[in-house]
Amino acid sequence: MTDFVTIEAKVLAKALRFANSIVETRNTIPILNTVRLSYCPKGLTIDATDLDLQASIEVDEIDGSGEWAICVLARDLAKVSMVAGTVPLRIEPSFSYRDDSTSHKWTGKTAEITAGDAAYSVPAMDAADFPELLGERMQRIERFTNGHFAAMLRKVSHCISTEETRYYLNGINWSAKPQGKRFTATDGHRLASCRYDGNESGETFSYILPRKTVSILMAFLDGADIEVFSIGKGNTVVETILDIQAPSVSIRTKLIDGTFPDFDRVIPNNENHRLDIAREEMLTAIRQATAIGPSRGPAVRLRGVEGRLHVETKNPDAGSAKVATSAAWPAGMPEIGFNGRYMAEMVRSCQGEIHFGMTEANAPITLSDDDKDVIRVVMPMRV
């Protein structure tokens, strides 16, 4: 009986969009340019990896036969499934052997693909060479429902650092402390932290989810129920890998091996001054004030003029800009200087009316909205 699987092209294309977000382009290791197709009576599974992140995607097939696995180029298969449109797509693995009377050895293999009137014969690789993040799934760390996991990552992800020197900031810290369970990101200039549990049990842990893992979770598991497990080898827990389970999807990710800073030390404990303004008005004022001068991180100043908030910039080459707002400037509040791009990104993450808080001049600035679970901090700068 011929080994094969038949699947709707659009269903395969959707799964491969997920898989190709993991597969690295132009990888010098050929097997890492592929996805592994595995078929058995339980159905079809597509695996993708970049050695740090691995996803297994269960795909609904129309029909199939045999029990087999083969690796094909991820982007070629994705393009074939995209141009196929809505027709069924059939994949047949074709294997060759060499029998030297002592062993069977692969000498070559292809995948035969048909989609309507189109037929393709593409090179394939041995599924036995496909690398995996090995380990046994152990105890459940946490369960998140109704897309809560991806939603919390999205609230803080804009603060992830892209600086490679402090590599431990290139992700989101998921921690359990006496202050609660939180997701936190910082690049040293701004910080966002989302608290989701009071941690009455006193549990403690600290994981750093890499930036790529965070992006994939937000893009493809938005709205999904998720369970997170530890991974073990024997009776030993592997502290550098997590197993994330969602409906029809399994993800294993390496963690950033480092120590995340003690961010509680930079979060102000009180506010001596508070400024309130509508989110859209603040964004408009920042855009208008930064319309001249350098586009990367222009310095912006907030100050009170006749009891109203003014947003200002000044540049020796480009001149100056002043934007008056309708927000009242609190009496006794010091002027505030900050990086305009950073602050704009922080304001965009808010909803409705926002609140700036500060303890004293040149102290970190807090930014909040009606979401009481999120704390945002921006470091000041001299203007």
Strand order in the sheet with 336-339: 319-328, 308-315, 299-305, 336-339
- Which helix (H) or strand (E) segment holds residue 79: the answer is helix 74-83
Q: Name the nearest CA neighbour of 5 among 60, 46, 58, 63.
A: 63
Whether the predicted pLDDT of 212 surpasses 90 = yes
What six digits make up the tokens of 48? 């993708």
Residue 168 or 101, more confident: 168
Summarize the confidence of residues 140-163 as an average pLDDT: 96
Residues 6 or more apart whose CB falls under 8 angstroms from that of 375 comprise 191, 192, 193, 195, 267, 366, 368
What is the Cα–Cα distance from 180 to 201, expressed in whole angstroms?
A: 10
Q: Name the nearest CA neighbour of 282 among 366, 355, 358.
A: 355
153, 207 Cβ separation under 8 angstroms: no
Q: Residue 257 carries which DSSP code?
A: -
Q: What is the pLDDT of residue 104?
A: 45
The string of pLDDT tens digits covering residues 74-85 is: 999 999 999 999
- The pLDDT confidence band at residue 96, using thresholds 50, 70 and 90, is low
Summarize the confidence of residues 306-317 as an average pLDDT: 90
Name all domains of the chain by residue range, CATH numbers in brackets.
4-129 (3.10.150.10), 140-265 (3.10.150.10), 273-378 (3.10.150.10)
320, 313 Cβ separation under 8 angstroms: yes
Tell me phi and psi for residue 233, to 5 degrees.
-125, 110
What six digits make up the tokens of 209? 């989810």
What six digits make up the tokens of 66? 């045999």
Summarize the confidence of residues 15-38 as an average pLDDT: 93
Per-residue burial over 323-334, b if 16 or more Cβ lie within 10 Å, else e, is bebebebbeebb
What six digits make up the tokens of 301? 């100043």
Residues 6 or more apart whose CB falls under 8 angstroms from that of 8 comprise 60, 62, 86, 88, 89
Tokens 């403690």 sit on residue: 204
Q: Which of 22-26, 166-170, 278-282, 326-330 has the lowest mean pLDDT?
A: 22-26
The structure's pTM equals 0.91
Q: Which of 57-66, 166-175, 311-320 has the lowest mean pLDDT?
A: 311-320
105 burial type by CB count under 10 A (0-12 exposed, 13-18 middle, 19+ buried): exposed
Summarize the confidence of residues 60-74 as an average pLDDT: 95
